[in-house]
Amino acid sequence: MALKRLSDIYNTTGELFNELKNNELTEEMKNVLFNLIESYTAEASKVLKFDSQASAKIASRYADIRKANKKIHELKKC
């Protein structure tokens, strides 16, 4: 799994490099690529048992999303 995620990071970074080099990097694509790199880094860190800031940031973001979804679900019941 770690090798797969490292390969994903490598490929995504290559895509980012090429789009930037060719002056084709849009804001939307920049966000997509950096979010993918962040996610892949967090997953690789977890598999390799390395406590990274990316992992903590993503875990916090998911916790916030779950909390918001729970609140929405509760409000819909009322």
Q: What is the pLDDT of residues 44-68, one digit of tens each?
A: 888 888 877 767 787 788 788 888 8
User: Are the C-beta atoms of residues 23 and 51 closer than 8 Å to each other?
Assistant: no
Give the pLDDT of residue 10: 97
- Mean pLDDT estimate for the chain: 89
Based on the structure, what is the number of domains in the chain?
1
User: What percentage of residues in the chain have a pLDDT greater than 90?
Assistant: 44
- pTM (2 decimals)? 0.69
| Domain hosting residue 16, numbered range | 2-77
User: What percentage of residues in the chain have a pLDDT greater than 70?
Assistant: 97
